[in-house]
Amino acid sequence: MLAAVSCAALLSGCASGTRTGGKTAASSPEAGAKPGSSDTQTAQAGQNAAAAPKVVMPAFTADFEPPAHGDPSQIAQTIVYGSGGAYDDTDFSVPDGYASERDDVTYGGYITSLTYYSQTAGMEKTFNIVLPAGYDESQSYPVLYLLHGYAGDPNEWNAARVVCGNLQAAGQMPPCIIVQPDLWTNQESKDGAGFVDWINAFAAFPQDLTEDLMPYIEAHYSAATGKENTAVLGLSMGGEQALVTAFENPGMFGYVGALAPMIGALDTGGAASFMTSALKELNMEDTDDIPYYIMQNYGTEEPWDKEATDEYRKSMTENGIPNAFYIIEGTGHDGNTWVPGLYNFAGRIFRN
């Protein structure tokens, strides 16, 4: 449950996360900005950006350090409820070098510390973005939103640029835009925040994602829209939020991944006393709203979230929601579980 404290160093080390050139899209101004205020400056920046090209690709020269995990290719158990499409692929092993940068692959541009105005939070929030290799504004690209865990930040998913780049180079994943948001949706400082503080800050994120960040991405980048073009994947507390967001907004997400998701997506006894965003069940009344693919995993050494993940799988299965689940032998609540999870999820999405 203490999610990303131990994993942050592992995943954040996957890339330097620095931007070495180019410009970024300006954040959206808050309505009603007062003359002479910082809000006016933000509004002016937005006007300046409107006249500029929508995206300027940055130079990316950061070295990539692959995550230092062992062999996550040993699958202890696989349970798939559903058939057809990605559900027919039950091989969740990973190949050698799947998370290592290769000389023969052209990777996408990585831009960090972008901002947008969140009406939900009442402030500017940050996100990182990966634009696919050969990004062309005349085309539209599906979008994958990657959610970090407790005590994490947008840098926690920096491995995505290389993992997804390798899949795309191999023709196993369509070119897509990858967005790494900050789930902290609260004006209070993160400094000194405790577990319940993080829960409360995360509780507003589904609204922030669907009403603030997604419209911003669709307005400023060549993003394809609709369920068939929208995916969300999260780890630990971010995994719980991925499920909550998808099931609170039926028909919006076509692909949903939750890697060792923590308690809270369901109203399960004691969790309800401190989880502010809980559902009674994981179900969708209209079958047309059901995602094309839902995947969960955890490792045999998972210390906190086995029961929660099992409860989510049970609820979906009992309600006729297709879903896939697998267990990795010997891994715990860290990048050894999450980076292979990203590989297996990313290789199965945007194919309907």
Spatial separation of the C-alpha atoms in residues 348 and 341, rounded to whole Å: 11
CA 63 to each of CA 90, 176, 268, 336: distance values in angstroms, whole numbers, following the listed order:
33, 22, 44, 21
Amino acid sitting at position 324 = A
Query: Per residue of the chain (352 residues), what is the pLDDT tens digit?
Result: 333 333 333 343 333 332 222 323 333 333 333 333 444 343 343 433 333 323 333 333 233 333 444 456 689 999 999 999 999 999 999 999 999 999 999 999 999 999 999 999 999 999 999 999 999 999 999 999 999 999 899 999 999 999 999 999 999 999 999 999 999 999 999 899 988 898 888 899 999 999 999 999 999 999 999 999 999 999 999 999 999 999 999 999 999 999 999 998 997 655 544 554 568 899 999 999 999 999 999 999 999 999 999 999 999 999 999 999 999 999 999 999 999 999 999 999 998 7
Domain ranges of the chain: 3-19+63-346, 23-56
CA neighbor of 92 nearest in space, from 334, 328, 335: 328
Query: CA-to-CA distance for 66 and 1, rounded, in angstroms?
Result: 25
Give the CA angle between residues 158, 112, 130 to the nearest 5°: 60
Report the 10 Å Cβ neighbour count for 59: 10
End-to-end CA distance of the chain: 32
- Fold (CATH) for 3-19+63-346: Rossmann fold (3.40.50)
Give yes or no for a contact between 234 and 224, defined as CB atoms under 8 angstroms apart.
Answer: no
Write down the pTM of the prediction: 0.81
**Strand 230-235, strand 255-259: pairing:** parallel
